[in-house]
Amino acid sequence: MNNNSKFSVEDLDLFYGDFQALKKINMEIQEKEITALIGPSGCGKSTFLKTLNRMNDLVEGVTIKGKISLDGKDIFKEMDAISLRTRVGMVFQQPNPFPMSIYDNVAYGPRIHGITKKSVLDEIVERSLRQAAIWDEVKDKLKKSALAISGGQQQRLCIARTLAIEPEVILMDEPTSALDPISTLKIEDLAVELKKDYTIIMVTHNMQQAARISDKTAFFLVGEVVEFDSTENIFNNPKDIRTEEYITGRFG
């Protein structure tokens, strides 16, 4: 095992009832890198991502086999879901700010983890919004509803909300698919910036995006990881013919 490995996935199988959505996944995800997950619709990217912070626990009838460790600790046996999720934050495909003020959205995580002091919260909110590159746009309307800003701003707000709990890993499920090109570029720049401090795992349907910003890329196909390598290799030198077909758009 590589000693920079953040997540280590061994022989992971996942079933929704009888349907096997993930098959024998093995993957080492490196610390402070961006790992992109690509593959056709329904191949299990979101399922895999949600397994990493145990969001699948909330789904009825899910069975999981195999092992996932975070910094060497088994996330199923040695950690509870709540503390895992504070270390592994998640940004969803659709921006999903809560129907509260911008401030309360960012302060939500710290508050549920017991921080009540106004000055501390103020500081966390400002720092998180700055990190998510949205501070300048919202600093004058922190008390306004988070639902009243643009979709791109909402997504960065959601990233700020995740940063506020100071996670080690950020999972992003197609964070830009609902956004316009300019907002998309902002989020991509942000991801590259955040990579300095965080491990990022991002599902994307956008090949250029994966190629532009990720260090490693995993290609999923019907529940299996066909190929997992440096982004460089996946895009310029794929070993599997199916990978090549997919990234060149010739995939059936």
Ligand X SMILES: Nc1ncnc2c1ncn2[C@@H]1O[C@H](COP(=O)(O)OP(=O)(O)OP(=O)(O)O)[C@@H](O)[C@H]1O
Q: Which residues of this chain interact with another protein, rule CB under 8 A?
A: 53, 55, 58, 60, 82-83, 85-86, 89-90, 92, 94, 96-102, 104, 108-109, 111-113, 143-147, 158, 161-162, 165
List of residues 6+ apart from 89 with CB closer than 8 A: 53, 162, 163, 165, 167, 169, 170, 171
Reported as type and span, the H/E element at residue 235 is helix 231-236
The residues pairing with 162 across neighbouring beta strands, listed in sequence order, are: none
Structure token pair of residue 219? 């290609």
Residue whose structure tokens are 């982004």: 231
46 binds Mg ion (CB under 5 A): yes
92 binds ligand X (CB under 6 A): no
Residue whose structure tokens are 């969803």: 92
Binding pattern to Mg ion, positions 80-119, x when CB under 5 A? ----------------------------------------
169 vs 179: CA distance, rounded Å: 23
Shortest Å, Cβ 38 to ligand X = 9
Amino acid at 224: E
Structure token pair of residue 181? 């090109």
Q: Which stretch binds ligand X (CB under 6 A): 27-35, 40-48, 188-196, 239-247?
A: 40-48
Q: What are phi and psi of 135, to 5 degrees?
A: -55, -50
List of residues 6+ apart from 21 with CB closer than 8 A: 14, 15, 44, 47, 223
Among the listed residues 16, 76, 92, 98, the single contact to ligand X using CB under 6 A: 16
In the bound state with another protein, the residue whose beta carbon lies nearer, of 114 and 252, is 114
251 binds ligand X (CB under 6 A): no
Query: Is the C-alpha dihedral spanning 51, 53, 59, 60 positive or negative?
Result: positive
Shortest Å, Cβ 101 to another protein = 3
Q: Which stretch binds ligand X (CB under 6 A): 36-44, 113-121, 137-145, 159-167?
A: 36-44
43 binds ligand X (CB under 6 A): yes
Apex CA 12: angle with CA 250 and CA 60, to 5°?
95
In the bound state with another protein, the residue whose beta carbon lies nearer, of 166 and 244, is 166
176 binds Mg ion (CB under 5 A): no
In the bound state with another protein, the residue whose beta carbon lies nearer, of 29 and 142, is 142
132 vs 247: CA distance, rounded Å: 30
Among the listed residues 5, 35, 47, 51, the single contact to ligand X using CB under 6 A: 47
In the bound state with ligand X, the residue whose beta carbon lies nearer, of 60 and 140, is 60
Q: From another protein, Mg ion, ligand X, none, which one binds at residue 121 (CB under 5 to 8 Å depending on kind)?
A: none
State the number of binding residues for ligand X (CB under 6 A).
Answer: 12
Pick from 155, 217, 148: nearest CA to 182? 155
Task: Specify the 3-state DSSP secondary structure of 209.
Answer: helix
| Residues of the shown chain interacting with ligand X in the complex, contacts defined by CB under 6 A | 16, 19, 21, 39, 41-47, 59
